[in-house]
């Protein structure tokens, strides 16, 4: 059996900014610092609204000095496109969706670095490292084992042959396996379902490098900074376990023993025991007081058990991704 797992990432879209001054356009709009974006260093980032709530998350790639790609949840593509196109005339950029030009795959497993290096492009170095070749792009993502978001160029003459080789050398797995890696890494993709609902710190996005606190202004910056430095965040992202099968509907309310809503489960996936791991945004007070927490599943109260995250939820990860 292959030691590399393959997931088709059909829920993602690719947006291209090209020509003019795309860095300057984005620098005043999003949370990441475009000065740190290199061809071999991708950046996670966010677009927030005026109230500091996250509209969408994305991964940002540089193909050239005036050529950028944003990979984001497809259901948030209209929101990001509508926002950015207002600024195009000022920075002389073109903006278009180019999802159809790329085959988006998730590859993970112990042998993923060797496989990607031999077939696609050299394995990226470091957190959110990027590697680009004529065949495609590999973007290294946080996980408990090696994994990469891979973008294959459909226009390449060998594209079909490459896909056949990848299919023969990897094991196809469902999207829930990729989601489990996100859960274990404490990584949230902000989809349309979560748009405008949370400050970045409520999703621990400052702890995974999606916010620069050293750059200038961007939309929502004052509120995001105030939440960081004045400790005004009342909820955080937690990793939890539930002794039940996967939840049917998300977000799912989390209740305390008095039946008061103290948070929501926003992502879940089945584990190897056919039980559930999840990411939940919970009241910090409820967690610190060790209050028993529950979710209603098929009319039954199922107790949540807290699991460890691989980072300090209240810490900061700054590109080039050193914890402070």
Q: Residues 254, 139: one domain? A: no
Burial of 122 (0-12, 13-18, 19+ CB in 10 A): middle
Q: What DSSP string describes 285-305?
A: HHHHTT---EEEETTEEEE-E
Strands (E), 77-160: 94-97, 102-108, 130-132, 136-140, 147-153
For the chain, how many structural domains are there in total?
2
Q: Provide mean pLDDT across the span 240-267.
A: 93
Is residue 137 predicted with pLDDT exceeding 90?
Answer: yes
Q: CATH code at 256?
A: 2.40.30.110
Q: Provide mean pLDDT across the span 29-57.
A: 97
For residue 74, what are the CA distances in angstroms to 9, 174, 265?
A: 10, 18, 21
Q: How far apart are the first and last CA of the chain?
A: 41
Does residue 151 fall inside a structural domain? yes
Q: Provide mean pLDDT across the span 77-98.
A: 97
pLDDT band at 123, cuts 50/70/90? very high
Q: Provide mean pLDDT across the span 82-98.
A: 97
Q: Residues 172, 71: one domain? A: yes
Higher pLDDT, 156 or 39: 39
Q: What is the pLDDT of residue 201?
A: 97
Does residue 242 fall inside a structural domain? yes
Does residue 214 fall inside a structural domain? no
**CB-based contact 99:155 (threshold 8 Å):** no
Q: What is the pLDDT of residue 216?
A: 87
Place of tokens 């459909």: 154
Is residue 262 predicted with pLDDT exceeding 80?
Answer: yes
Does residue 193 fall inside a structural domain? no
Higher pLDDT, 232 or 254: 254
Q: Residues 57, 176: one domain? A: yes
Does residue 322 fall inside a structural domain? no
Q: CA-CA distance, 30 to 56, in Å (whole number)? A: 10
Is residue 205 predicted with pLDDT exceeding 60?
Answer: yes
Domain boundary among the residues 154, 185, 216 is at 185
Q: What DSSP string describes 76-98?
A: GHHHHHHHHGGGHHHHT-EEEE-
Q: CA-CA distance, 47 to 224, in Å (whole number)? A: 12
Q: Give, in degrees to the nearest 5, the angle at Cα 106 between 105 and 107.
A: 115
Q: What is the pLDDT of residue 323?
A: 52
Q: CA-CA distance, 203 to 236, in Å (whole number)? A: 6
Q: Provide mean pLDDT across the span 150-160.
A: 92
Is residue 324 predicted with pLDDT exceeding 60?
Answer: no
Q: Residues 179, 238: one domain? A: no
Q: CATH code at 33?
A: 3.30.1360.120
CA 54 vs. chain centroid, Å, equals: 12
252 three-state secondary structure:
strand
Q: What is the pLDDT of residue 1?
A: 46
> Domain of 22?
5-185
pLDDT band at 320, cuts 50/70/90? low
Query: How many Cβ atoms are within 10 Å of 259's Cβ, its own excluded?
Result: 10
Q: Residues 117, 33: one domain? A: yes
Q: CA-CA distance, 218 to 285, in Å (whole number)? A: 30
Mean pLDDT, rounded, of the chain: 94
Segment 282-308, tens digit of pLDDT: 999 999 998 899 999 888 899 999 999
Does residue 323 fall inside a structural domain? no
């Amino acid at each position: 059996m292959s030691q590399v797992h393959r997931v088709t990432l059909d829920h993602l879209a690719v947006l291209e900014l090209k020509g003019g001054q795309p860095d300057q356009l984005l620098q005043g709009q999003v949370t990441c610092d475009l000065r740190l974006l290199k061809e071999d260093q991708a950046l996670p980032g966010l677009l927030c609204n005026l109230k500091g709530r996250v509209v969408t998350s994305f991964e940002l790639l540089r193909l050239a000095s005036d050529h950028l790609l944003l990979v984001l949840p497809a259901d948030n593509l209209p929101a990001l496109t509508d926002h950015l196109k207002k600024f195009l005339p000022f920075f002389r950029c073109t903006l278009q969706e180019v999802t159809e030009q790329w085959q988006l795959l998730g590859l993970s497993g112990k042998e993923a670095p060797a496989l990607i290096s031999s077939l696609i492009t050299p394995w990226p170095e470091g957190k959110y490292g990027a590697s680009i070749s004529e065949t495609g792009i590999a973007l290294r993502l946080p996980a408990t084992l090696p994994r990469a978001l891979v973008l294959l160029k459909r226009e390449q003459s060998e594209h079909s042959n490459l896909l056949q080789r990848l299919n023969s050398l990897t094991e196809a797995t469902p999207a829930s396996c990729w989601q489990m890696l996100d859960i274990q890494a404490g990584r949230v993709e902000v989809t349309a379902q979560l748009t405008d609902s949370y400050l970045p710190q409520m999703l621990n996005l400052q702890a995974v490098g999606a916010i620069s606190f050293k750059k200038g202004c961007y939309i929502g910056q004052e509120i995001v900074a105030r939440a960081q430095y004045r400790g005004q965040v009342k909820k955080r992202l937690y990793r939890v376990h539930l002794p039940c099968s996967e939840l049917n509907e998300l977000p799912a309310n989390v209740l305390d023993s008095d039946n008061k809503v103290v948070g929501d489960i926003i992502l879940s996936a089945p584990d190897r025991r056919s039980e559930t791991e999840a990411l939940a945004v919970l009241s910090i007070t409820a967690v610190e007081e060790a209050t028993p927490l529950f979710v209603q599943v098929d009319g039954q109260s199922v107790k949540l058990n807290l699991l460890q995250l691989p980072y300090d939820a209240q810490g900061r990860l700054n590109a080039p991704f050193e914890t402070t």
